[in-house]
A = this chain, B = another copy of it.
Amino acid sequence: MTTQELLQKAKRAKTSLATASTAVKNAALLAMAGALEADTSPILAANAMDMEAAWGHISEVMLDRLALSEQRLAGMAQGIREVAALPDPVGQVLRRVERPNGLVIEKTAVPMGVIAIIYESRPNVTSDAAVLALKAGSACVLRCGKEAHRSAAAIVAALQKGLASSGLSPDLVQLVEDTSRQSANELMTASGLVDLLIPRGGAGLIRACVENATVNVIETGTGICHVYVDESADLDMALNIVENAKTSRPSVCNAEEVLLVHRSAAAELLPRLRRRLVEDRAAAGKVPVELRLDSTAAAIIPGTPAGPADFDTEFLDYILAVKVVDSVDEAIAHIAAHSTGHSDAILTRDSEAAKRFTALVDSAAVYVNASTRFTDGGEFGLGCEMGISTQKLHARGPMGLEELCTYKYVITGSGQIR
């Protein structure tokens, strides 16, 4: 089936979901979870073929992301059941006014319609994205990277069985067959068919979507996150937070990439930082962090001299760029010039500095005295997420079910004219 035909089918199917009750949607989700578990064998077989084909062509980290197991599949099914248990965002009245002329105006949450998701090689995204879109009342069209295509096709087949068994159209979850660049371009320009496009993946994919899409796009994920240690910071707390933000999971978008240190704190903090992130970790058999230091920091501790690119790089690795600044305003200006608008933190005991930082740092999440690693739908209490928006329109930060909806005004009158 061509991508156009598949989009037309999704568009026709979305109507049935727009009028489906919460109970019908939840029953379908539970059936999809069951179907996923029932299809464990064919899904693992398809995944084994993907793994074999990818072997030697992609990195070990990527191979691990691609790999499925009985346990990972059970986790995916459990994730679907958790989404079923979340409140239904559709139909919520966000604001209600009765006007002097008697018109009742209700701003009402409604589904987007058709959500397209372009992603790379993690097969679990297939079911996560599909069930979030479905719970939010939208059909979804998935387009995964070629490495994961057999796995994704087997997962989608199972999800469609679940949909069919619950009486909803299997066309509500579709996988694009073509994994060439052509199909991604078709999704980006499918005006009238795709209501929202979410790219999940590397910076190149996201830039291509932003530059070429004529449909609505939400940029996700790129995170050059900063932690600024103010002169008044509690340095014990600062060391804990910097270590956590950098090393607890360096491959994710909310990990710290850049440390900014106030000049007054640098002489004490930096030697302790080096001991904690480099020496102690090496002694404990952990990967030490490579510190890339600006000239002021390099005068205090040994490390790699930072090049200019180091302050504009999402390392996703055990590497931390370090810069010494003279003031909170210099930290704010550095962040304005280099941040991707994801998550940035100030560590301080000075409430004025905290207030200035949170007002002027223009990022989705701005932290005072906590690790940037908390930017996550679950940690924010949203129950789930479709990705972290780094743009300013519609949704910012973790996108949960509410952020996957739009709204309409429903106006009820009794013959009012103007």
Contact = CB atoms under 8 A, between A and B. Distances in A.
A183 interface: no
A403 to B, nearest CB: 10
Nearest to A410: B358
Contact of A412 (B237, B360, B364, B370): B370
Given A359-B19, A392-B196, A397-B409, A418 B371 contact: yes
Interface string A115-136: 0000000000000000000000
Contact of A407 (B237, B369, B396, B415): B396
Interface in A222-247: 234, 237, 240-241, 243-245
Contacts of A397: 408-409
Given A392-B113, A393-B196, A415-B241, A408 B366 contact: yes
Contacts of A407: 396
A55 to B, nearest CB: 33
Contacts of A105: 380-381
Contacts of A418: 244, 248, 371, 373-374, 379
A58 interface: no
A363 interface: yes
B211 A415 contact: no
A410 B357 CA distance: 10
A284 interface: no
A406 B89 CA distance: 20
Q: Which 6 A-B pairs have the closest CB atoms?
A: A370-B413, A244-B417, A394-B394, A237-B415, A373-B418, A392-B406
A109 B369 CA distance: 21
A329 to B, nearest CB: 10
